[in-house]
């Protein structure tokens, strides 16, 4: 007898002469059609949520990749806008050793003495670099005499140092209205305007200083910075040249002039100015990096590597390694010197990062 699978449809007739019919599906009375559709809809909803989450993650990843690619393909200029120079109205005296740490309990009721003491305390804190406590003393002094021009000017300077630029402008303008018209006050007021993205007002103050005090060098430098903010590079170059004559020992104007020459497509002049800045201050690593970037852009990778190696002795290896990873130094990294420098910098940067951990572990063992 031949075995015949009852669940299989045969195209050959059986002994009865008729082909076997396909088996009918068994009906489970416990499974309702509504429950089946609910399960299907739930699974579809979960699938849609998972796909939406994956799509969002993919979009964020693409945005990050595009931003990093844009940074690599379009690197920022090697030179950033300089910070303006802040000046003091009067040098703070050195702190007095015999000052009572809680003076307000022993000061006489005389308002003049109390005001003078608060100002001395503020100057002492400012000399120590404790700007918040110095500002508190000036604020207390202004509660005693709100119209004191010198106190207003000093408080404005402290607001500027603590980056509260709107309060700095208010206090400096009040001091100016009270009769304090000094180059230091005008310079601080112009600096505050520059930090609040108002270069026109700042430039007007710096020009006012230079008209009345032509030898006030900080105003010339800051006027150059204001012109850079206004994209007036030729005017900025003139002001930096003026500052260079007034302060020949400062290498910063040379760097800013080099930036302008570079933007005007004069790379030879830019590199020469940066080399002059290096000669003026050999331990300042920034011009070395600027020259390295410029020479890499002009197609001289070997010279770029030389300046990177020189900069390494004036800063940490991690900084040089990060600069070397820029797309500008792609050709330089392919040279034998570049590969050796990259490997050496990576090893020293790694050792420098691990050094604090090792010192901490040794300290723990010593304890």
Instruction: Please say whether the beta carbons of 187 and 208 come within 8 A.
Output: no
Asked if residue 26 has pLDDT above 50, the reply is yes
The H-or-E segment that residue 347 falls in is helix 336-366
- The Cα–Cα gap between 292 and 287 comes to 8
Q: Which of 168, 172, 187, 195 is nearest to 82 (CA)?
A: 195
pLDDT band for position 180 (50/70/90)? confident
Lowest mean pLDDT among 184-193, 279-288, 310-319: 310-319
- Domain ranges in the chain with CATH number 1.25.40.10: 84-91+182-250, 253-367
Lowest mean pLDDT among 46-55, 96-105, 141-150, 260-269: 96-105
Contacts of 72 (CB under 8 A, 6+ apart): 326, 327
| pLDDT, tens only, 27-58 | 555 545 556 666 777 777 767 766 666 666 55
Judged by DSSP in three states, 361 sits in: helix
Lowest mean pLDDT among 48-62, 118-132, 135-149, 170-184: 48-62
Contacts 24+ apart (CB under 8 A), 276-284: 276/251, 277/251, 277/252, 278/251, 280/249, 280/251, 280/254, 281/251, 282/314, 283/314, 284/251, 284/314
Asked if residue 365 has pLDDT above 70, the reply is no
End-to-end CA distance of the chain: 92
E strands present in 208-280: none
Asked if residue 77 has pLDDT above 80, the reply is no
Instruction: Please say whether the beta carbons of 222 and 251 come within 8 A.
Output: no
Asked if residue 366 has pLDDT above 80, the reply is no
| pLDDT, tens only, 242-272 | 999 999 999 999 999 999 999 999 999 999 9
| Mean pLDDT, residues 98-106 | 44
Q: Determine the distance from the C-alpha atom of residue 157 to the mean position of all C-alpha atoms in its chain, rounded to a whole number.
A: 23
Q: Residue 24 has what pLDDT?
A: 53
- The Cα–Cα gap between 130 and 241 comes to 35
- pTM for this one? 0.67
Asked if residue 9 has pLDDT above 90, the reply is no
- The Cα–Cα gap between 115 and 138 comes to 9
Q: Residue 312 has what pLDDT?
A: 87
Q: What mean pLDDT is reported for the chain?
A: 79
| Mean pLDDT, residues 274-292 | 95
Contacts of 308 (CB under 8 A, 6+ apart): 288, 289, 292, 320, 323, 324, 329, 341
Lowest mean pLDDT among 5-19, 104-118, 352-366: 5-19
| pLDDT, tens only, 157-175 | 999 999 999 999 999 999 9
Pick the residue with more confidence: 7 or 182?
182
Instruction: Kindly list the distances between the CA atom of residue 312 and the CA atoms of 133, 229, 324, 331, 349, in Å, as whole numbers in the listed order.
Output: 39, 31, 11, 20, 11
Q: Name which CATH class applies to 84-91+182-250.
A: mainly alpha
CATH number of 253-367: 1.25.40.10
Q: Residue 39 has what pLDDT?
A: 72
Q: Determine the distance from the C-alpha atom of residue 330 to the mean position of all C-alpha atoms in its chain, rounded to a whole number.
A: 25
Contacts 24+ apart (CB under 8 A), 37-44: none
Q: Which of 309, 300, 291, 285 is nearest to 332 (CA)?
A: 300
């Amino acid at each position: 007898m031949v075995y015949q699978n009852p669940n299989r449809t045969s195209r050959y007739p059986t002994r009865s002469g008729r082909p076997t019919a396909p088996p009918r599906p068994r009906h489970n009375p416990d499974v309702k059609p509504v429950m089946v559709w609910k399960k299907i809809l739930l699974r579809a909803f979960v699938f849609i949520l998972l796909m939406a989450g994956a799509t969002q993650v993919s979009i964020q990843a693409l945005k990050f990749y595009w931003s990093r690619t844009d940074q690599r393909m379009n690197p920022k200029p090697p030179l950033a806008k300089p910070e303006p120079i802040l000046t003091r109205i009067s040098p703070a005296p050195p702190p007095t050793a015999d000052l009572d740490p809680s003076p307000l309990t022993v000061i006489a009721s005389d308002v003049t003495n109390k005001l003078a003491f608060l100002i001395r305390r503020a100057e002492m804190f400012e000399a120590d670099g404790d700007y918040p406590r110095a500002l508190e003393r000036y604020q207390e002094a202004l509660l005693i005499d709100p119209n004191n021009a010198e106190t207003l000017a000093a408080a404005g300077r402290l607001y500027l140092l603590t980056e509260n630029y709107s309060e700095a402008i208010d206090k400096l303008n009040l001091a100016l209205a009270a009769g304090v018209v000094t180059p230091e006050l005008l310079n601080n007021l112009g600096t505050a305007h520059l930090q609040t993205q108002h270069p026109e007002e700042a430039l007007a103050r710096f020009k006012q200083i230079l008209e009345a005090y032509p030898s006030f060098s900080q105003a010339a430098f800051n006027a150059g910075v204001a012109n850079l903010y206004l994209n007036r590079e030729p005017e900025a170059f003139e002001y930096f040249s003026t500052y260079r004559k007034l302060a020949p020992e400062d290498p910063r104007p040379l760097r800013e002039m080099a930036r302008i020459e570079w933007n005007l497509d004069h790379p030879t002049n830019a590199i020469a100015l940066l080399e002059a800045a290096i000669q003026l201050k050999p331990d300042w690593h920034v011009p070395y990096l600027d020259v390295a970037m410029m020479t890499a852009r002009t197609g001289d990778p070997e010279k770029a590597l030389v300046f990177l190696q020189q900069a390494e002795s004036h800063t940490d290896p991690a900084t040089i390694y990060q600069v070397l990873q820029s797309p500008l130094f792609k050709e330089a990294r392919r040279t034998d010197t570049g590969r050796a420098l990259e490997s050496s910098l990576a090893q020293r940067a790694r050792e420098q990062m691990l050094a604090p951990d090792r010192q901490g572990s040794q300290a723990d063992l010593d304890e």
